[in-house]
Amino acid sequence: MSSSLETWRFINSGYLDGATNMAIDLALARCMLSNSHYPILRVYGWNPPAISLGYHQKMDDIDVSKCRRDGIDVVYRPTGGRAILHSEELTYAVILPKSSRYYFPEISKVYEVISLCLTTALHQLNLQVNFERARFTPGNFSRGELSAMCYASTVQHEISYKGKKLVGSAQRRFDHVVLQHGSILIGRKHLDFVNYLVNGNLQKHDRIRDFLQSKTICLNDISHSTVAFSQLANVIKTGFENELDIKFFETELTKRELETVQAVSGQEIRKIIS
């Protein structure tokens, strides 16, 4: 590769619990604030499954007791947006310093760059996914019924297949550092989120589940063969390399990053369920 190519770190964290995953994303952004660092692409999964809520979202809609009984973590993300159940998915995180050529002041432009990388990656699996700029409205549901759920609506710069949402993302700015992370659905477990909503009867939950199923899609529904986490991690890495003309080196977290993970775990990443 040419020495003129921008160099990024690639971190494959494997499967971690929800609080650790969110603390790592926040710690990487915080550490990048104080020093000049390479841009980072991190991929990870969730074990046990977890419901994550947006940074400013209230927990009132979530049945925490049922989550505890079913072994579901409940955590807050360092980004905004609404709640999602993380289970059969690969989650990506991109952390960009201002020094990167792919850092832009406009939020939408960074979304677009990252979405194009993900689209390029998924095309390697022979999946004809699209870069979605349109919005849709929630049909015959009240705003309150769907307000808790990330996948209840699409926003600009998301990735879809035949009009159904495949990737949900959120972004936050830390001064001159961008953190964007998002879920790439592999299986259908995200639909079980409705089981952990408070209030409402089973009929209402079934209606909401049917609605979410009509608006979302997962890789294993559209791929000719089962997509594994490791396979998807590799194509995501290659997709970024090809789309951005960058080169990666694979690393673990540094000592300072690990120390920051420990610090933010007890302070800003509020873990509800252990």
Residue 251 lies in a domain: yes
Residue 270 lies in a domain: no
Instruction: State whether the Cα torsion 51-56-61-62 is positive or negative.
Output: positive
pLDDT at site 3: 53
Q: Helix or strand or coil: residue 36? A: coil
pLDDT tens digits, 52-74: 999 888 888 899 999 999 999 99
pLDDT tens digits, 114-140: 999 999 999 999 998 988 665 544 444
Instruction: Give CB contacts under 8 A, 24+ apart, made by 126-129.
Output: 126/223, 126/224, 127/161, 127/219, 127/222, 127/223, 128/161, 129/159, 129/160, 129/161, 129/166
Residue 1 lies in a domain: no
Residue 208 near residue 138, CB atoms below 8 Å: no
Residue 227 near residue 194, CB atoms below 8 Å: no
Q: How many domains does the chain have?
A: 1
- Beta-bridged to residue 173, according to DSSP, are 178
Residue 230 lies in a domain: yes
AA letter at 196: Y
Residue 274 lies in a domain: no
pLDDT tens digits, 73-112: 999 999 988 899 999 999 999 999 999 999 999 999 999 9
Residue with tokens 């390399």: 241
Residue 61 near residue 148, CB atoms below 8 Å: yes
pLDDT at site 198: 87
Residue 96 lies in a domain: yes
pLDDT at site 57: 86
CA dihedral 24, 165, 229, 188 (to 10 degrees): 110
> Residue 87 and residue 185: Cα distance in Å, rounded?
9
Pairing of strands 89-97, 177-185: antiparallel
pLDDT tens digits, 13-42: 999 999 999 999 999 999 999 876 899 999
Give the tokens for residue 259.
Answer: 């120390």
Q: Helix or strand or coil: residue 96? A: strand
> What pTM does this model have?
0.89
The active-site residue, picked from 31, 67, 117, 150, is 150
> Residue 174 and residue 104: Cα distance in Å, rounded?
13
As a whole number, the mean pLDDT across the chain is 87
Q: Range of 108's domain?
A: 6-265
Question: Is 117 annotated as catalytic?
Answer: no
pLDDT tens digits, 208-222: 889 888 889 999 999
Averaged pLDDT for residues 225-248: 96
Please report, for the domain that includes residue 167, its CATH number.
3.30.930.10
φ/ψ (deg, to 5) at 66 = -70, -40
